[in-house]
Amino acid sequence: MKLVLFDLDNTLLDGDSDYEWAQFLIEKGVISRQKYERRNKEFLEAYEAGSLDINQFLDFQLKPLSEHSRNQLNDWHDEFMQVKIDPMISNAARQLVLQFKDELIAIVTATNSFITGPIAREFGIEHLIATDLEEQGGEFTGRSVGEPSFKNGKVTRVNAWLNDMGLSFDEFEETLFFSDSINDLPLLEIVQKPVAVNPDPKLLSYAMKNNWDILHLHPRKKQ
């Protein structure tokens, strides 16, 4: 059996679900455009540059979850899936996942589990390794729990997930990780077959130097 790991944002999705969730809330008037939009773009740019402070970002991103009921958030998420996420899921991405339907598959993402859980289910992927959220009485507190699934944290979280199942990397016939981002270099470097998917400039350069596979899954966006 193979172990097949997928990043989510800008890899399986043709876009960034974390960024689009905040934009969705802004467009609905749930959070202030003046207060949130500029910061949302700044965090996205920092992520793309490989310089994101994950703790600062989580404080920003998770605060709105603590200000509304779980039922209301779930209703908004249903709409978010239709308006923002469905257009970012291509047939090519669905077919890529289906290629590995008989293998052990997981999405490994820094984006929180509230946003990404329904997206993983839409892809038919059972296992999700995401940044986990603290809850009290079924409601979100606005804080994360455990190690965020980001940079080296992805390696830690994947190893813990495998260990919980009594497995390890060296037990698989082949290990693969698909990602677009230089932030994912720690996990890309420990699998047998790293695949750069529509990679950012830094990852593209690194992948070419190391003769990694490069997959153009999504059409190039006009600048």
Note the pLDDT of residue 221: 55
71 inside domain: yes
Evaluate whether residue 39 is within a structural domain.
yes
In a domain? residue 221: no
Residue 147: domain span: 2-215
Question: pLDDT tens for residues 45-67?
Answer: 999 899 999 999 999 999 999 99
* pLDDT for residue 222: 40
Query: What is the number of domains present in the chain?
Result: 1
Is 9 designated active site? yes
Does residue 33 form part of some domain?
Answer: yes
Q: So what's the pLDDT on residue 126?
A: 97
Q: What is the CATH number of the domain that holds 81?
A: 3.40.50.1000
In a domain, 223, yes or no: no
Q: Distance between CA atoms of 152 and 210, rounded to whole angstroms?
A: 20
The verdict on residue 194 lying in a domain is yes
Q: Which residues of the chain have pLDDT under 50?
A: 222-223
Angle at 135 between CA 134 and CA 141, to 5 degrees: 75
- Determine, yes or no, domain membership for 222: no
pLDDT in the model for residue 214? 98
Query: Which residue out of 7, 14, 180, 184 is catalytically annotated?
Result: 7
Q: Which residues, in sequence order, are CB contacts of 91 under 8 Å at separation 6+?
A: none
- For residue 164, indicate whether it is catalytic: no
pLDDT in tens, 75-97: 999 999 999 999 999 999 999 99
Q: Is the whole model's pTM more than 0.75, yes or no?
A: yes
